[in-house]
Structure 1
Amino acid sequence: MSVRTIGVVMNGVTGRMGYRQHLVRSVLAINEQGGVTLSDGSRVTLRPVLVGRNADKLARIAAAHGIPDHTTDLDAALADDGNLIYFDAQVTSARVKAVLKAVDAGKHVYAEKPTAESVQEAVALAQAAAAKGVKNGVVQDKLFLPGLLKLKRLVDGGFFGRILSVRGEFGYWVFEGDWQEAQRPSWNYRAEDGGGIVLDMFPHWHYVMENLFGRVTSVYAHATTHIPERVDERGERYAATADDAAYGIFELEGGVVAQINSSWTVRVNRDELVEFQVDGTHGSAVAGLRDCRAQHRAATPKPVWNPDLPVTARFRDDWQTVPDNAEFDNGFKIQWELYVRHVLEDAPFPYDFASGARGVQLAELGLRSSAEGRRIEVPQL
């Protein structure tokens, strides 16, 4: 079968996610496996065109991976008819302008989330892409994690009966940057640069809830900045103006209640950096990044509350590991393959700019809920 190559403009590959997950573990990994296989058996490889503001960083990355095409001129990259796809992994504050340029140039656009800093801008992106007739997609990588794929298998199989609640715990301690280097870039903690854990994580939680449990109908959130001052990459102190922790309660269609804590100021005392517990009338499950454990109602023990006696039961021993039953590839790479098939042969791809706008909407309403101290309904966009 034939092999075709298409150009992919990749803006923001000098950043952590753009480089590791999208360039190295997705685009280059796809090429190493021989490309994306289409429905007719033919294959498509991807020719990355690296774009960014720092020419030296781009040159180093390009040299390390044998990539001939790199430039600081986005307009020139978009003018090349051989480049069919534009991908954006820049800081959020720079995304809208660049994506609109790509849409105007007739490129199919794939972008990291959040697609914008406000729901108004996010909706405008979706409308612009629809008006131009270009394919569009947003990264929703958590759906392709092994743990959540196993959890979805339980949902689809009716394991839970009627789902009652979801409890999510996400986060870890991000060092302040003084006595130990911070493991996240400083812009994450400046609201003026598009930072904040609500804008970063609520779009994730939105697509997880929407795809696994149902549409979000209301939000009550408390966002806060626990660490008011941090040290940036140059060793200079700066005021942390963005929220670094958020505690949210979400109501979903069908009466499901979800409680999700998100924090960059918490020390990990759980098996994985993110865990979701789902409780239903017929069973419960706890899913993380890779693993998932379940407990059916027939195997549920009967704990008795007695604070005067030590607990001898090992409650975790009563849970059963959900088997892999499949080979799990990198979630970012899987979604890249889906998007390429969507562009080239109109294969299904529900993770479009409209779904990205709904995620931004939840973040915006979460921040509003926190500011006003009240529950806010989430209208359908």
Structure 2
Amino acid sequence: MVGCGNISAAYLETFPRLDAVELAAVSDLNMDRARAVAAEYPGVRALTVDELLSDDGVDLVLNLTIPAAHAEVALKAIAAGKHVYGEKPLAASTAEGQAMVDAAAAAGVVLGSAPDTVLGTGTQTARKAIDDGLIGKPISATATMVTPGHERWHPNPDFYYVPGGGPLLDMGPYYVSALVTLLGPVASVIGAASSTRDTRIIGSGLRAGEEIPVSTPTHVTGVLVHASGALSTLVMSFDAVATRSSNIEIHGETGSLAVPDPNRFDGEVHLRRLDGDGWELLPVSAGYQGASRGIGLEDLALTPAGELPRASGELGFHVLEVMQAVLASAESGGAVPILSTCERPAAVALSRPREAEAGSLP
């Protein structure tokens, strides 16, 4: 694991519940922090990044660095012959993301990318409802994430307010990944964006009260035209307060679905049928039960050789290009075509990870 910051705690809680992945070593720019993590987990070593990448006992690198460093660390790991699974977004730019995808393919290693929340029962139950025809042909979707800003709780929020951050690059991966999982890849986008404030005030930690600059849009709206013809409307904001609507709604010819927060693994899925009397709660019918951050690592390790993991680098790159295209459209005022595509990730049957057949990484 490279990077022992805030998000690492969620992965560290999950590792003991994974059967196909074992944490061997950790690294961080602050080696004291790495050593503190290693001390909590018997058998885990604190290594420098170079030591970790040259270690024959490391097969897969979990990249939890800040977005600006995702590509640098991933490319070094790939060059060392390691499989890589990284936090979202895949990279800070499409050029970096493409370099990662190309390098992994050339090296014959597997590239995976968060979010893996879409593998949980919430999004997967909704996907099964669509695949089973419960809403007929999908027509449109809405996806909304509204919060007043991460500086209110994060002690070092600077990276949220520079290019590669913002509500779209930070939270958008959950929503766009879910939309692609539910409705398939995106063919073109159009977007608009704004920023309410030029600075933000850190609200917690040792830097509380410090003012930081904002250099990326903090309210973004986009329309995604899926290759299937379905249209998704996306609203991502660090400027507003809250929303009462469902995080994602999918509308079809014969029904509508209310889909739970894609930043969670579970949650209720509700269906409103064309001839029904109201909203009905669908039973949990698909997805990894009891999943938490890190299940994407397990899914990658269990994926048979030659197949893409569900939380793949291909999907991560497509989602990254979609988000960057929304921002480019916001600047140009015109529609932007999406040059990449991806397979709609394979559905997850209702199971716990250990029920899957173990694959063999190349």
TM bucket normalised to smaller: 0.7 to 0.9
1:11 to 2, 5, 10: 2
Give, in angstroms, the shift of residue 152 of structure 1. Answer: 0.6
Cα distance in 1 between the residues matched to 2:283 and 2:156: 36
Cα distance in 2 between the residues matched to 1:66 and 1:244: 42
Letter in 2 for 1:221: G
Partner of residue 221, structure 1: 191
Partner of residue 130, structure 2: 155
Partner of residue 270, structure 2: 293
2:316 to 339, 353, 356: 356
Matched, 1:80 2:55: yes
Distance 1:225 1:65, change over 3 A: farther
Cα pair 2:24 2:57 within 8 Å, conserved: no
TM-score, scaled relative to structure 2: 0.84
2:92 to 117, 127, 130: 117
Partner of residue 248, structure 2: 276
Cα distance in 2 between the residues matched to 1:174 and 1:166: 24
TM-score, scaled relative to structure 1: 0.80
For these two proteins, the number of residue pairs brought into alignment is 331
Alignment map for 1:188-207 (pairs within 5 Å): 188-191=159-162, 194-207=164-177
Q: Deviations over 1:257-307 (max 9, x none)?
A: 111111123323427xx611111111111011311111111115xxxxxxx
SS at match of 1:207: helix
Matched, 1:261 2:235: yes
2:223 to 249, 254, 261: 249
Q: Deviations over 1:77-136 (max 9, x none)?
A: 111111111110110111111111111111111111212111111111111111111122
Cα pair 2:26 2:44 within 8 Å, conserved: no
Structure 1 stretches of 5 or more lacking a match?
1-9, 37-44, 301-317
Give, in angstroms, the shift of residue 56 of structure 1. Answer: 2.1
1:375 to 332, 335, 343: 335
Cα distance in 2 between the residues matched to 1:359 and 1:214: 11
Cα distance in 2 between the residues matched to 1:362 and 1:286: 23
Give, in angstroms, the shift of residue 325 of structure 1. Answer: 4.3
Cα distance in 2 between the residues matched to 1:189 and 1:352: 24
2:29 to 53, 63, 74: 53
1:70 to 46, 49, 52: 46
Q: Percent identical across equivalent pairs?
A: 23
SS at match of 1:134: coil
Partner of residue 315, structure 1: none
Cα pair 1:294 1:322 within 8 Å, conserved: yes
Larger Rg: 1
Cα pair 2:23 2:44 within 8 Å, conserved: no
Cα distance in 1 between the residues matched to 2:32 and 2:218: 32
Give, in angstroms, the shift of residue 202 of structure 1. Answer: 3.6
Give, in angstroms, the shift of residue 246 of structure 1. Answer: 1.1
Distance 1:171 1:85, change over 3 A: same
Letter in 2 for 1:133: G
Give, in angstroms, the shift of residue 346 of structure 1. Answer: 5.6
**Larger CA deviation: 227-236 vs 110-119:** 227-236
Cα distance in 2 between the residues matched to 1:134 and 1:269: 41
Cα pair 2:121 2:285 within 8 Å, conserved: no
Cα distance in 1 between the residues matched to 2:22 and 2:150: 37
- Structure number with the higher helix fraction is 1
Cα pair 2:78 2:103 within 8 Å, conserved: yes
Cα distance in 1 between the residues matched to 2:174 and 2:242: 20
Cα pair 1:245 1:262 within 8 Å, conserved: yes
Distance 1:371 1:134, change over 3 A: same
Distance 1:183 1:238, change over 3 A: closer
1:96 to 71, 75, 93: 71
SS at match of 1:267: coil
SS at match of 2:330: helix
Give, in angstroms, the shift of residue 347 of structure 1. Answer: 6.2
Cα distance in 2 between the residues matched to 1:359 and 1:288: 19
Cα distance in 2 between the residues matched to 1:338 and 1:128: 21
Distance 1:137 1:186, change over 3 A: same
Q: Deviations over 1:244-264 (max 9, x none)?
A: 221111111232111111112
Cα distance in 2 between the residues matched to 1:166 and 1:248: 12
SS at match of 1:261: strand
Cα distance in 2 between the residues matched to 1:380 and 1:210: 13
Cα pair 1:123 1:354 within 8 Å, conserved: no
Cα distance in 2 between the residues matched to 1:268 and 1:184: 22
Cα distance in 2 between the residues matched to 1:127 and 1:325: 36
- Structure number with the higher strand fraction is 1
Cα distance in 2 between the residues matched to 1:155 and 1:281: 11
Q: Deviations over 1:200-229 (max 9, x none)?
A: 234333322222112211111112222321
Cα pair 1:114 1:199 within 8 Å, conserved: yes
Letter in 2 for 1:270: R
Cα distance in 2 between the residues matched to 1:128 and 1:157: 38
Distance 1:229 1:335, change over 3 A: same
Structure 2 stretches of 5 or more lacking a match?
262-266, 342-362
Q: Deviations over 1:172-217 (max 9, x none)?
A: 23365xxxx434741233325x322222234333322222112211
